[in-house]
């Protein structure tokens, strides 16, 4: 009889329910499609791909474009199928059996999930009650557990909170831990750890085209870090893992930086509107540096199932948000992705009605 690994059987997959409703604000995608000129250029480029040939194994043009965007060398850039594949490749190279991976909870669940699937031991160190991370506490986590890899999600998902450079300094202090700063939402925030990348510091930064770049369907993410780390990832990853379409999609997207910045600006503007709308409805709101907001509807304090009922009520009104209430440390909290102006208004109206119906 076939038998899956015992440790794997204990794990559950990470899935946001895909409910078919009008207003989908549950997975932090961009509410805007990419610019039409991008779609036209991509269709044309797909027509001239040499389909009988393997793609460029090193994705030279795409890496050069990303390197130029950040003012680093192409040798400092690793590209993959979403930042999720970057995470997996990092953990194949630096995690694995006998090693410890540190996360700061609550945070993005894929770090712990992929670390476990690739055989490492995972330690989830708690953040403060207000979801910030005290540098002294971060340093203590490193000293106590001596992890091979530590993940810092900043701006954090699902809280939207951004950690400062002082936290990063605390994490790299002993020099034996590879510190992975997951910046899937950095464009919506103010500070980036990319400025700290050098050949000598054990810091890498992850970025994705899934959120800011309106390209979740393409699966493209990347890492910026020391050449030594990029080389290790190239050893661990499958050959020809990034197909020709994804490569060219990334190259073409990089020619639309102005439109991308405009989309970010619109989302940040809407975020302020949604935050004040939530406050007016009596919700507790975490200050967000990302394209979503974590909020606690006023019911939840008295009733642990209150947030679940608000979530279901919203679905009945055709609005899907993320129910974080069952996650450790997040009882009572929901997360809403910032949508278009119309979607946000529909969300706030629906929430108002659901809260009135109680
Ligand atoms: C959405 C998200 C990603 C994106 O993963 P991709 O594989 O690039 O789509 C990565 N990290 C965090 C924290 C996220 O929220």
CA distance 228 to 267: 36
CA distance 310 to 149: 37
pLDDT of residue 310: 96
CB of 38 closer than 6 A to ligand 1?
A: no
CB of 182 closer than 6 A to ligand 1?
A: yes
What residue has token string 């594949």? 85
Cβ of 53: how many Cβ atoms within 10 Å?
Answer: 8
Per residue of the chain (358 residues), what is the pLDDT tens digit? 999 998 888 787 656 677 889 999 999 999 999 999 999 999 999 999 999 999 999 999 999 999 999 999 999 999 999 999 999 999 999 999 999 999 999 999 999 999 999 999 999 999 999 999 999 999 999 999 999 999 999 999 999 999 999 999 999 988 899 999 999 999 999 899 999 999 999 999 999 999 988 899 999 999 999 999 999 999 999 999 999 999 999 999 999 999 999 999 999 999 999 999 999 999 999 999 999 999 999 985 567 689 999 999 999 999 999 999 999 899 999 999 999 999 999 999 999 999 998 7
* Sign, CA torsion 152/153/158/159: positive
pLDDT of residue 130: 94
CA of 110 to the centre of ligand 1 (A): 8
CA of 220 to the centre of ligand 1 (A): 10
Question: What tokens were used for 183?
Answer: 């910046």
Q: Which atom of ligand 1 is nearest to the CA of 84?
A: 7
CB of 159 closer than 6 A to ligand 1?
A: no
pLDDT of residue 305: 83
pLDDT of residue 302: 66
pLDDT of residue 13: 62
CA distance 83 to 85: 5
What residue has token string 């970010």? 264
CB of 337 closer than 6 A to ligand 1?
A: no
Q: Which atom of ligand 1 is nearest to the CA of 211?
A: 1
């Amino acid at each position: 009889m076939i038998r899956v690994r015992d440790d794997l059987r204990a794990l559950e997959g990470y899935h946001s329910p895909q409910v078919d409703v009008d207003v989908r604000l549950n997975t932090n995608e961009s509410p805007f499609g990419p610019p039409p000129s991008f779609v036209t250029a991509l269709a044309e480029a797909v027509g001239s791909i040499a389909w009988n040939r393997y793609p460029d194994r090193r994705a030279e043009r795409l890496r050069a474009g990303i390197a130029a965007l950040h003012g680093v060398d192409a040798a400092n850039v690793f590209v993959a199928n979403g930042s999720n594949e970057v995470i997996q490749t990092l953990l194949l190279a630096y995690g694995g059996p006998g090693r410890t991976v540190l996360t700061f909870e609550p945070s993005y669940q894929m770090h712990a999930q992929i670390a476990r699937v690739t055989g490492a031991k995972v330690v989830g160190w708690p953040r403060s009650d207000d979801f910030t991370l005290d540098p002294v506490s971060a340093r203590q986590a490193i000293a106590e557990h001596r992890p091979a890899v530590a993940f810092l999600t900043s701006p954090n998902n699902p809280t939207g909170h951004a950690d400062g450079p002082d936290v990063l300094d605390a994490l790299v202090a002993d020099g034996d831990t590879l510190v992975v700063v997951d910046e899937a939402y950095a464009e919506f925030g103010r500070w980036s750890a990319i400025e700290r990348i050098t050949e000598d510091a054990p810091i890498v930064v992850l970025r994705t085209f899934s959120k800011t770049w309106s390209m979740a369907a393409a699966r493209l993410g990347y890492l910026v870090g020391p050449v030594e780390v990029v080389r290790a990832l190239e050893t661990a990853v499958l050959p020809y893992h990034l197909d020709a379409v994804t490569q060219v999609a990334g190259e073409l997207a990089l020619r639309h930086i102005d439109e991308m910045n405009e989309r970010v600006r619109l989302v940040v503007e809407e975020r302020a509107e949604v935050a004040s709308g939530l406050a007016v409805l009596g919700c507790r709101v975490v200050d967000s540096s990302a394209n979503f907001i974590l909020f606690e509807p006023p019911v939840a304090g008295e009733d642990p199932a209150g947030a679940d009922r608000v979530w279901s009520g919203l679905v009945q009104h055709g609005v899907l948000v993320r129910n974080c209430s069952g996650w450790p440390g997040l009882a009572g909290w929901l997360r809403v992705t910032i949508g278009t102006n119309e979607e946000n208004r529909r969300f706030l109206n629906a929430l108002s009605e659901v809260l009135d119906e109680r």
